[in-house]
Amino acid sequence: MKSGPGIVIFLGPPGAGKGTQASRVATRLRVPHVSTGDLFRHHLKQGTPIGQLAKGFMDRGALVPDEVVCSMVEDRLGQPDAKGGCILDGFPRTIPQAEALEVLLTRLGRGTTTVVSFDLASSVLEERIGGRLTCKSCGASFHATLNPPKVAGLCDACGKAELHVRADDRPEAVRARMTEYAQKTAPLLDFYASRGALYRVDAGRRIGEIEKDLEVLLDRP
């Protein structure tokens, strides 16, 4: 067994299931699940300046400026629990972010980077986001039909809070997020393929099947 998975980047359009898999893989490999969307939502809840700045971008489905995201990620990756690696979910999302990450990882002396692309047709993405339900308290995500909670409307993960439709899962915001993805994030596929670090998974299958693929990929010695 190798000592840790290194930095694992989950790339893919909104609704491809990155967050669900990232949380499962991180628990299994005992590394942090670093979701920039969750970090922003946490800032928002706490009313920090980063949260206030990010809110307008997030609500309309636009990307938060690179400098803000990069400095937040730099802080997070510098924390001791991320030393053995982490699952990066939702970062990088632009070429400048990917370049900044390379510089940061070199500076921190972190080893390998594995990038997993979650591939899914856009018609399926719309259906998935359409039914997405998120926990108001812990942020766990479910789907009305594809991954329903055990008790309707209540979070399985923390058992405490109600599930709701996130502001950025509303149709106008979803359209904007898809456009941002196509214009700014999709070019990262070539960026990482040219570095020999890109693996692709068919994200149109059942959660358990995708999870098995990731297990084989990320647990390999």
- Chain residues binding ligand AMP by CB under 6 A are 14, 36-37, 40, 57-58, 61-64, 69, 90-93, 97, 168, 177
30 catalytic per annotation: no
Residue 146 DSSP symbol: T
Using CA atoms, how far residue 218 sits from 6, 26, 84, 177, in Å, is 9, 11, 14, 28
93 catalytic per annotation: yes
132 catalytic per annotation: yes
DSSP 17-44: SHHHHHHHHHHHHT--EEEHHHHHHHHH
- What is the SS3 assignment for 162? strand
Quick one: the chain helix, strand, coil %, rounded to 5? 50, 15, 35
83 catalytic per annotation: no
Spot the catalytic one: 18, 24, 110, 128: 18
Give 31 or 91: the residue with its C-beta nearer to ligand AMP. Answer: 91
Tell me which residue of 175, 206, 140 sits closest to 13, measured CA to CA. 175
177 catalytic per annotation: yes
Spot the catalytic one: 132, 160, 200, 206: 132
Give 187 or 216: the residue with its C-beta nearer to ligand AMP. Answer: 187
Rounded (5°) CA angle 188-221-102 = 30
Give 71 or 220: the residue with its C-beta nearer to ligand AMP. Answer: 71
Give 91 or 214: the residue with its C-beta nearer to ligand AMP. Answer: 91
In the complex, the smallest distance separating the C-beta of residue 83 from ligand AMP, rounded to whole angstroms, is 22
In the complex, the smallest distance separating the C-beta of residue 177 from ligand AMP, rounded to whole angstroms, is 5
Phi-psi region of 214 (alpha: psi -120 to 50; beta: other; left: phi over 0): alpha
Spot the catalytic one: 41, 93, 110, 128: 93
User: Active-site residues: which are they?
Assistant: 18, 93, 132, 166, 177
